[in-house]
Structure 1
Amino acid sequence: SSAGPARLALVADGGTAWAERREAARRWLAQGGARPADVLYRDAPVGGETAFVYTNGSAAYPGMGHALTLACPSLGESVRAGHRAIGTRLRSGRGPGVLDQIWSVAELAVFHTVFSREVLGLRPDAAIGYSSGESTALVALGAWPDASGLYEATRESGLFTTELTGELRAVRRYWRQRGIGGDRWSSYLVAAPLEAVRAELAGERAVHLMAVNAPGVCVVGGESKACAAVVTRLGVDRAIELDYDMAAHAPELAEVREVWREAHRRPTVDVPGVRFYSAATGRAYRPTTERAAEALTAQGLGTIDFAATIERAWADGVRVFVEHGPRKLCTGWIKRVLGDREHVAVALDTPDDAGLRNLCLAVGELVVAGVPVRADALTARLAEAATGLPAPGPTVTVAVPPTPCLPPLERAVTVLPR
């Protein structure tokens, strides 16, 4: 029942598994102990606003989103109707380079947004992006209706192909002007206290604090050798090098400040009822062409504080966080930021979710939290996808030619020199 206040949800494949899971849940409720797998429960609903959360291009992985797009093929038409060119990379797979990573993640996030709205019936009160996720949020929620124009602007600007990645032209100009050697950028996800990281970076000119993700989790980046030295001092066991060699959230972008701002100066429309957060300030703003360009330029040139943005959103009344896009990195950071405080954070994608079980668990979390979500619409879609296979075509008989009979080979005669 959805009458509440206490709610329980089960995720099972059907058949005997459903009865077994229900019996396990009944025993757990009566006797206590460890909660059974795939059983979700809350004593009371979670009150508050809902935020759609958008991750960045570094979260891309091969095959992301394929299971959901196959299960809900009709949503692709809604995506193309609302966003025109969006959707092609989900079908063809992402190409090499940072720009394709960013756009393939954005396209899955757009698909997730259509799925959240049209299938699950979710309505966001706020939008929170991590790095390029801020631009994705503007596209996915309709504030930037010209996705094709944005793609062309970012591609033609060279920012994401030669200036800040690849040849690193702008970055190397910045370094040369300051006597910094090197020709490669590296970024690391670091699990260490923020104070320790800041202390190591205090005397560094070529390594920067790019992002604060959560307590004890941040990203540093800069000239490759200098960056590796910082990581060594912090402890190599505390860091993971990111497969995302793009300079961002650093002063090197001052070389292309105006180009960056112009590429992100897009025709903007109002999205009633939704406020957008900037990780540069940690505060919400109402997007206009100029405000959005300024917000994205500020976060491009400086450290983004995702943790502080989540804190502010929670203080503003957000209690439900739904991550759109691949993996579920932002969801983990949000849980780390908010700890035991009342909230629910779920992700619509995980890399190991070929059967969409984790998606069903995420929707189950929303159900038991009392979030108005159409779980029955999801189960209906999945049931249709499982049974709605096309009828087989006509049988075609192909004659198999007989095995050819070749004449026997003559024995080779070897003539030795006299």
Structure 2
Amino acid sequence: DGRALGLTAPRPAGQRAALTRAYRNAGVSPADVGLIEAHGTGTVVGDRTELATLTEVFTEAGAEPASCAIGSVKSQIGHTKCAAGLAGLIKTTLALHHGVKPPTLHVRQPNAAWDGGSSPFVFHTAARPWATEPAERIAGVSAFGFGGTNFHVVLRAYDQPPPRHSLDTWPVELFTFRGRDAEAARRSARALLELLQRGGQWRLRDYARHTARRSDQAAGRGESVRIALVADSLAGLAELLRRAAEGEQDPKAGLYAADDTTEPARSGGSVAGELAFLFPGQGSQRPGMLAELFVAFPELQRHLQLGAQWADTLYPPAAFDEEGKAGQLARITDTAVAQPALGVVELAAAELLASLGVRPAMAAGHSYGELVALGVAGALAPQDVLTASAARAEAILAQVEGGDPGTMAAVSATAEQVEEVLRTSGLAEAVVAANRNAPEQTVISGPTEPMATAVARLRDAGFAAKPLQVACAFHSPLLAGAGDAFAESLAGMTVHAPDFDVWSNRTADPYPADPEAVRAGLAAQIGAPVRFTEQIEAMYAAGARVFAEVGPGRVLSRLVSAVLGDRPHRTVPLDGGRGAGLTGFLSALAQLAVSGVDVRTGRLFQGRDAVDPETAVAERTAGWTVDGQLVRRADGTIPPDALHPARPVTELIVPENYASHGAAASGPDALVAEFLRTSRDLVAAQRDVMLSYLGGPVAVPAGRPLGRPLSQPLAYASASVAAPVPAALP
């Protein structure tokens, strides 16, 4: 293709030919491709040409708008020249294997050739899970070289079980230390510090694996976690270990210690120190929630595949303006999407905790979250939880379709105070205290006009009342009919008795073991008030002391603390605590571990590139290295019989009017002379431009008169050039 425009000029026809041949030979339609690894050099003309050609080919094949992620590894590692295509191929193969759509860094505004409303392509600025079955993951990789040597390869993922992990290096690592008492755990911390101080080529995750092995062995002896650390570097680990050995604790720094009076949390019975799972409901959802966990632990993606119809809304591409961000938030706030999307991430989070030995003695959910709690307790299969989630949302929206959907408002008052104002205002029949969230937080719900009056009356009574942006009047008599429709959907699903107690919003008591009673309770809950305060009090009375918020945000953690006040308890949000993503998750595990929960951390290292420094054999340092075309010893010196780097020498350059033996140059000699002359002019021009830009004097080479335009030929008598030095003879 370079014959048309030049060696480096992109030619759409050549790129199109490479694309169409590749997809024809692969027997794949571009419309089925989910990821494109573009050549993407970042040049204005090159990127515009490549994006326009890809858009044309994919659109003609019937690709839907926003159906394919596009990016380039060059944004992360730069242009590797002749290895650029190989780098893109490696990246794409790993993306297919792990089920991840990789990010393209530094994208603030896409190329002008991209039309966000119609283009088949979207951009990701952070890694996102690829929510399709492995056999359905298809990607294309482009590599365009000098002269129009255009290549495109089509790849499909191999249909196999997902890997345990997709990342070897994590932003932080978790360290847990067990013992019969606090001093025994401190001795373990000192032992790791001594191992760390021996030095070596070991990484943070290697020391974490060593600690996990010893901790899990101690768990088999019945020892509890007394100290837990979350470190982000070897230096940070050493400092935390020193502080831990001295008996300190500093949760903000990632240093957690158990209270010696804390009793171990167990999986059954009602004793002090029980672990309770809490599942947040509608209102906690947001685009991208818990994405980093789905990326780091590919096994969780089976839940995304069960809920594939909501995955694109759950993990949308990058938005480049406020309007785009607002649109993404609005789509996931829609009741029809928010409830099943929450179900996907909460089921996955509970499964991840269970794989690490974290299982609750009891559970509850707020509003919609109650359905997920029953699913985690085994009353419903994961697929049925998502099916029921969609049916629940549909029943609610159908109930208010074509009429007044109603609204809700948050009031800073007790439920009794709110109900008294409603009663004296004659509004008690229309407006109800729908969510009794905390002693000083009550949410009212009802038809729009009576709600406006209720808010005014409550403010007149001296209470703060804030209208909420909601789809309808949840948990009010307006939705009473939705329960009947939801009951019909539940009738066709298999329901079992819960494996552990799941506490009901409606009754503030555990669900009965009878499957029919479970169905009836779920249906009735839609139109009944959420008695969250009474529910938490009842769970506390039943022995719950550790409340883990299994889902996005930390709304329920704050409410629990507001309900229980100064009474002994611990709230542990998986997301939104000490950081988000992996950092937040590992910090939550640390808190659970020192709260008496039997966290087993060995699973965190299965399938990761991590070794135990105590037993592993250190790799021998390489005796020599290859640096480009040069071979060097480990100390950086070059063997005497090896090629040495070029060094400057003074050598005559062919003059501008060079002629052999006085005759005019012709044929090959003339071509060589012309090449040398034009190369000399190019280097001189670049030198002058750089010196001028840097403010230095512009040197005028010998033979070049002052004021002569750069476009005119230059004559040099000599120049400094780099020439290789022959290796020394033996």
Alignment TM-score, normalising by the size of structure 2:
0.45
Deviation at 1:220, TM superposition (A): 1.2
Pair 370,93 (structure 1): closer, same or farther in 2 beyond 3 Å: same
Structure 1 residues 216-264: Cα deviation after superposition (integer angstroms, max 9, x where no partner): 1221122234324433443499344433323322122333442233234
- Higher mean Cα deviation, 225-234 or 151-160? 151-160
**Corresponding residue for 1:13?**
232
Distance 1:18 1:107 in 2: 35
Choose which of 297, 304, 315 in structure 1 pairs with 2:541: 315
Alignment of 1:259-298 (within 5 A): 259-265=485-491, 266-272=493-499, 274-298=500-524
**Corresponding residue for 1:401?**
none
Distance 1:346 1:191 in 2: 25
Pair 114,228 (structure 1): closer, same or farther in 2 beyond 3 Å: same
**Corresponding residue for 2:354?**
117
Deviation at 1:41, TM superposition (A): 2.4
Choose which of 55, 65, 80 in structure 1 pairs with 2:280: 55
Distance 1:381 1:199 in 2: 60
Q: Is the 8 A contact 2:379 2:497 kept in 1?
A: yes
Q: Is the 8 A contact 2:474 2:526 kept in 1?
A: yes
- Higher mean Cα deviation, 190-199 or 65-74? 190-199
Alignment of 1:249-260 (within 5 A): 249-260=475-486
Q: Is the 8 A contact 2:277 2:360 kept in 1?
A: yes
Q: Is the 8 A contact 2:340 2:390 kept in 1?
A: no
Pair 271,284 (structure 1): closer, same or farther in 2 beyond 3 Å: closer
Structure 1 residues 143-163: Cα deviation after superposition (integer angstroms, max 9, x where no partner): 112635862785498413332
Choose which of 574, 588, 598 in structure 2 pairs with 1:348: 574
Distance 2:446 2:498 in 1: 36
Distance 2:392 2:533 in 1: 33
Q: Which amino acid aligns with 1:57?
A: Q
Give the RMSD, CA atoms, in angstroms: 3.1
Distance 1:190 1:335 in 2: 18
Distance 1:19 1:226 in 2: 62
The answer as to 2:421 corresponding to 1:200 is: yes
SS at match of 1:285: coil
Q: Which amino acid aligns with 1:360?
A: L
The answer as to 2:445 corresponding to 1:221 is: yes
Distance 2:547 2:457 in 1: 35
Q: Is the 8 A contact 1:276 1:287 kept in 2?
A: no
**Corresponding residue for 1:131?**
367
SS at match of 2:572: strand
Q: Is the 8 A contact 2:228 2:256 kept in 1?
A: yes
Q: Is the 8 A contact 2:439 2:563 kept in 1?
A: yes
- Higher mean Cα deviation, 18-27 or 107-116? 18-27
SS at match of 2:526: helix
Q: Is the 8 A contact 1:193 1:217 kept in 2?
A: yes
SS at match of 1:283: coil
Structure 1 residues 147-182: Cα deviation after superposition (integer angstroms, max 9, x where no partner): 358627854984133324xx3x4xx4xxxxxxxxxx
SS at match of 1:115: helix
**Corresponding residue for 1:393?**
none
Deviation at 1:62, TM superposition (A): 1.1
Alignment of 1:148-227 (within 5 A): 148=384, 151=387, 154-155=390-391, 158-164=394-400, 167=401, 169=402, 172=403, 183-202=404-423, 203-204=426-427, 205-227=429-451
Distance 1:201 1:299 in 2: 22
Pair 303,148 (structure 1): closer, same or farther in 2 beyond 3 Å: closer
Distance 2:179 2:237 in 1: 22
**Corresponding residue for 1:179?**
none
Distance 1:153 1:122 in 2: 25
Look at both structures and tell me which one has the larger radius of gyration over its CA atoms: 2
Pair 139,15 (structure 1): closer, same or farther in 2 beyond 3 Å: same
Distance 1:156 1:227 in 2: 24
Alignment of 1:80-95 (within 5 A): 85-86=306-307, 89-90=310-311, 92-93=313-314, 95=331
Q: Is the 8 A contact 1:139 1:147 kept in 2?
A: no
- Higher mean Cα deviation, 123-132 or 151-160? 151-160
Choose which of 585, 606, 611 in structure 2 pairs with 1:359: 585
Q: Which has the higher contact order (CA 8 A, sep 6+)?
A: 1
Q: Is the 8 A contact 1:90 1:107 kept in 2?
A: no
Distance 1:320 1:291 in 2: 28
Distance 1:152 1:332 in 2: 28
Deviation at 1:128, TM superposition (A): 0.7
Q: Which amino acid aligns with 1:15?
A: L
**Corresponding residue for 1:389?**
none
Q: Which amino acid aligns with 1:187?
A: M
The answer as to 2:573 corresponding to 1:335 is: no
Q: Which amino acid aligns with 1:160?
A: I
Pair 367,187 (structure 1): closer, same or farther in 2 beyond 3 Å: same
Distance 1:152 1:306 in 2: 22
Pair 15,355 (structure 1): closer, same or farther in 2 beyond 3 Å: farther
Identity of aligned residues (%): 28
Structure 1 residues 30-68: Cα deviation after superposition (integer angstroms, max 9, x where no partner): xx9x87533222322244322221111221111101011
Distance 1:5 1:239 in 2: 50
Q: Which amino acid aligns with 1:191?
A: S
Q: Which amino acid aligns with 2:418?
A: V
Pair 323,225 (structure 1): closer, same or farther in 2 beyond 3 Å: same
Structure 1 residues 273-297: Cα deviation after superposition (integer angstroms, max 9, x where no partner): x122111111112343321122123
**Corresponding residue for 1:69?**
294
Q: Is the 8 A contact 2:575 2:581 kept in 1?
A: no
**Corresponding residue for 2:48?**
none
Distance 1:51 1:335 in 2: 14
Structure 1 residues 166-216: Cα deviation after superposition (integer angstroms, max 9, x where no partner): x3x4xx4xxxxxxxxxx3422223332333322222221432211111221
Pair 298,356 (structure 1): closer, same or farther in 2 beyond 3 Å: same
Q: Is the 8 A contact 1:187 1:245 kept in 2?
A: no
Deviation at 1:352, TM superposition (A): 8.8
Q: Which amino acid aligns with 2:283?
A: S
SS at match of 1:282: coil
Structure 1 residues 289-345: Cα deviation after superposition (integer angstroms, max 9, x where no partner): 321122123322221111111111111122222221211211211122222323222
Deviation at 1:117, TM superposition (A): 0.7
